[in-house]
Amino acid sequence: MSDHAASHEALEHHDEDHSGHNSPEAIHAEKRKYLIIFFVLAVLTVVTVAVSRMHLPHAMAIGVGLLIATVKASLVAAFFMHLITERKLVFTVLAITVVFFAVLLWGPWHHVYEAEEHSKKVGAISTETPQQPAAQPAHH
């Protein structure tokens, strides 16, 4: 048997194993799944716009926006990038990436927070009025 015939036979065998994935029912189910994910992403986009118009405190608005963005990014990665069917190694690498991203976000925030706290302490010290020594009588 030639190499070409062997590879052709292997491809036919491969197609037979996954023939259920190409059935009209399977394709319809996949299309339905993608349309549902698209709809959820559209709704989350509308929620993001609605939250931006709610005039929340700055920190809360950022937190809610990041939460919604994380959910949307997770849906895109899981379904459109097919990471939901990947092995544990991919999820481990993804989790490590999320941890490092969180640390990168925490660093500048923590630095600004500490600088503000230091500024408040220094401001409180400088606004106290120092005791003036009693005026000495003038000697003539």
Domain count of the fold of the chain: 2
Q: pLDDT tens across 56-114, in order?
A: 999 899 999 999 999 999 999 888 888 787 778 777 888 899 999 998 888 887 777 78
Cβ atoms of 83 and 37 closer than 8 Å: no
Return the DSSP state at 128.
S
Q: Which two tokens stand for residue 37?
A: 């994910």
Cβ atoms of 39 and 79 closer than 8 Å: no
Q: pLDDT tens across 22-37, in order?
A: 889 989 999 999 999 9
CA distance 118 to 88: 44
CA distance 116 to 93: 35
What residues make up the domain containing 107? 87-121
Is residue 113 domain-shared with residue 64, that is, in the same domain? no
Is residue 33 domain-shared with residue 72, that is, in the same domain? yes
